[in-house]
Amino acid sequence: MTVRRPTTMLLVTLLLLGLASVAAAGDMALTRGGTLYRVAATPEGITVTDSSAGDDAVQLVVPQTTGVVAASLQVGNDDATGAVYVAWQEGEGVLATVKLAAYADGTWFGPVTLAGGDGMAAASPQLLVFHYRTPVTAEDDTTQVEEDTFLHLVWWGFTSVEEDGSAFYVGVPVDEYGLPVFDDFAPRPVTDLLPFGIACSQITNAAELAHPMLFVDPQSGNPHLLATDFGQCLFQLVELQCVEEGGDDAVQRDDAVVDKRRRRVVIFGRTKVMPVSRQLPLEDAKVAVGHDLSVVMYWEQPDEVSYIRLDKEGSSPLLSLAVGDDLSMDRAVELIRTLTR
């Protein structure tokens, strides 16, 4: 995979990993009940530490885990069932694969290979556990809320280290026991989602762009996906929508009526891009997101904080706030981050 660094005419959405109030899992997950799960690579394999027992924290070892890339570890949980999920990269380069394991009712399920090992390598996974709540009107005109839990998973797929590759996404539903359901497992490349590309200079030395990202938009509360499309030289920000797919409320089978709930699936919804026509030190940037996915990118320097604002109309000039006795660095950053409200 070619190592590249962005130059001019880019989209700053590449750094949205750190901008949302609710982001993808990472190496820790906190339940609503206060249990903290930590995941780490140990000589015994991947170990998940359950802090619910206090000083007697329980360690759960994921079976059959070797060659783990420690920086890739992701852990998430389902509050409804108590299930815990771990995703990770195994191996490097063209041998890299992405795997997933689930812990439910005291038992590990998996690991299963999500991608890689079939001629295409897979690396840099991210995991986001999300509950969709859908209002449903019953025959008596009352409204009920049905919940569907999905594991949102993304990774970077490539066939050789010389090629750029592309991001891949899959939404895996979770059953009533918290177990992933792979019946309709069909990862989708995150490329060519727009009918046009944005002209820009060649992207060089930007291996960090080969990291698709998941986060929850703080305004809408909906999950989103961010991925680089090297083919069109742009970055795509996509809403992950849950919709109903086909089927009748009931079907006739062997002279018996069998209730059948409509199946829900995740589709790509609104897609958004934000161009920036200036050279920026993207590797040093910090980002905040707010109303309508507006973005502020800023850089902390010894005597000032530089920043630009981005929204659907474009970007502002490069601005700055001087820091000193009258304005601390922390206060300046706080003020700049309010510009996304």
Per-residue pLDDT tens digits for 47-69: 999 887 666 778 889 999 988 99
Long-range CB contacts (within 8 A, 24+) of 82-86? 82/178, 83/174, 83/177, 83/178, 83/179, 84/29, 84/37, 84/48, 84/60, 85/25, 85/127, 85/129, 85/151, 85/180, 86/39, 86/46, 86/48, 86/62
Q: Would the pLDDT of 239 be above 70?
A: yes
Q: Would the pLDDT of 278 be above 60?
A: no
Assign 262 a pLDDT band (cuts: 50, 70, 90): low
Selection from 30, 24, 62 nearest residue 155 by Cα: 24
Q: Would the pLDDT of 21 be above 70?
A: no
Give 310 or 19, the one with higher predicted confidence.
Answer: 310
Task: Report the percentage of the chain scoring pLDDT > 70.
Answer: 70
Q: From CA 132, how far away is CA 130, in angstroms rounded?
A: 6
| Mean model confidence pLDDT for the chain | 77
pLDDT at 318 (0 to 100) = 83
pLDDT at 245 (0 to 100) = 76
Selection from 48, 49, 86, 41 nearest residue 67 by Cα: 41
Give 251 or 340, the one with higher predicted confidence.
Answer: 340
CB 286 within 8 Å of CB 297: yes
User: CB burial class (10 A; 0-12, 13-18, 19+) of residue 253?
Assistant: exposed
pLDDT at 16 (0 to 100) = 40
pLDDT at 255 (0 to 100) = 40
Q: From CA 336, how far away is CA 290, in angstroms rounded?
A: 12
Give 313 or 339, the one with higher predicted confidence.
Answer: 339
Q: Would the pLDDT of 251 be above 70?
A: no
Give 187 or 311, the one with higher predicted confidence.
Answer: 187
pLDDT at 322 (0 to 100) = 92
Task: Provide the whole-model pTM.
Answer: 0.76
Assign 269 a pLDDT band (cuts: 50, 70, 90): confident
Q: From CA 22, how far away is CA 214, in angstroms rounded?
A: 9
Helices (H), the chain: 329-337
Q: From CA 121, how far away is CA 99, in angstroms rounded?
A: 12
Q: Would the pLDDT of 87 be above 90?
A: yes
Q: From CA 277, how far away is CA 10, in angstroms rounded?
A: 7
pLDDT at 77 (0 to 100) = 93
pLDDT at 170 (0 to 100) = 94
Q: What does the domain layout of the chain look like in residue ranges?
A: 10-277, 285-341
pLDDT at 257 (0 to 100) = 37
Give 228 or 15, the one with higher predicted confidence.
Answer: 228
Q: Would the pLDDT of 244 be above 60?
A: yes
